[in-house]
Structure 1
Amino acid sequence: MAMGCPVSAVLANLFMEFREAGPFSNIVPRTVTWLRYVDDILIATFRRLNLQQLQNQLNDVEPTIKFTLEEDNALPFLDTLLIMSNNELKFRVYRKSTNKDDVVHYSQHSNKIKRGVIIGFFLRALTISVWNT
């Protein structure tokens, strides 16, 4: 099912909830911070944990889910770039290299949709700027 389908996010969320309650809960230590939005997951932990082993164990659970490992000081998560600098976490707006900045075709949508897009961008910018203060 394509992610453009209205029920895709709901199904992905349910799928991940079952994995979190089952096999993932047996693999991920309680000391790990696990943040998820639908199918995007951010795992934060101390370096003394064997991250490569954790990644391999998580990837072995379900062949359709592939965890990647980022050990840099900058990590993209959703539309935010998390940056660790001088033991301080900073946030920036993140856009993938494939981003075309296309939101909605102006003439094909109602004013309600257009206002919603603008309000959404404003709230996203406000949230990221509040996190970064």
Structure 2
Amino acid sequence: MHARVILASLDVENLFINIQVDHTINYITKRVHYNSTPKLNIPEVVLRTLIERSTKEAPFFCPRGNRYRQIDGVAIGSPLGVLLANSFMGIIEEEVFSTTEKTYIYCRYIEDIFIKSANEECIELLRLILQKTSGLTLTTESSADEMLPFLDILVKQIDNSFNKGVYVKATNSDHCLHGESECPQRYKDTTIRVYVGGTLTHCSTCQ
């Protein structure tokens, strides 16, 4: 009989617009120039300037034609958005786990965190510590019947291993693009690839 564990996910609300840009740029340049192998063949001041120009000084236009500059966080859809989001979360994790013990499993994909822990109290404590350290708001979803939807995967705990399948939301209508519709063939081919590819990459078994 295996010991009962809890699967849970933590989700960061509005991560991109709450990134501390200056702090994150300092972190990136430090890692690139002092913790990177091989070294990047570009001066630190040049790298810093390029990132700042691409984030803090990149203008965008609204539908009325007015031009604006984002002064807080990173614009969603920015080419550097994911890089800065991952780096900012890395800063938080390094600080938190330098003094706090990790749960059995802690994995993150940008702002979505997968956790396996001994109990819900440990998960809630970790959520509060991450929240306090980052200044962000995190929400929690716990497993039901040892199953947890994470991103588009349904994860099921079986003894000391996981069984994975494609996660289908309760609101899914089971409708997709009709094969005889007047639509370019490339879209129909993509629909098939998404269904078949998701099954091959997400499912533990063919059943």
| Fold-level similarity (TM above 0.5) | yes
Map 1:50-69; keep pairs closer than 5 Å.
50-60=122-132, 61-63=134-136, 65-69=137-141
Aligned mates of 1:83, 1:125 — CA distance in 2: 16
TM-score (norm 2): 0.47
The amino acid of 1:122's aligned partner reads V
Q: Which has the larger radius of gyration?
A: 2
Q: Offset of 1:101 from its aligned partner?
A: 4.1
Match of 2:148 in 1: 75
Identify which of structures 1 and 2 has the higher relative contact order when contacts are C-alpha pairs closer than 8 Å and 6+ apart: 2
* TM-score in terms of structure 1 length: 0.68
2:107 partner letter: L
Distance change in 2, residues 1:25/1:110 (3 Å)? farther
For structure 1, list consecutive stretches of 5 or more residues without a partner in the other structure. none
Letter in 1 for 2:77: V
- Say if 1:123 and 1:71 are closer, same or farther in 2 by CA, change over 3 A: closer
> What is the aligned-residue identity percentage?
23
Q: 5+ unaligned residues in a row in structure 2: which ranges?
A: 1-13, 15-75
What's the secondary structure of 1:68's corresponding residue? strand
Task: State the partner residue of 1:22.
Answer: 91
- 1:1-133 alignment, distance < 5 Å: 7=77, 11=81, 13-28=82-97, 29=100, 31-32=102-103, 33-44=105-116, 46-47=117-118, 50-60=122-132, 61-63=134-136, 65-72=137-144, 73-101=146-174, 103=176, 107=181, 109-129=183-203, 131-132=204-205
Do the aligned residues in 2 keep the contact of 1:80 with 1:91 (CA within 8 Å)?
Answer: yes
Instruction: Count the aligned residue pairs.
Output: 126
Farther-moved stretch of structure 1 (101-110 vs 31-40)? 101-110
RMSD: 3.5
How much does 1:118 deviate? 0.9
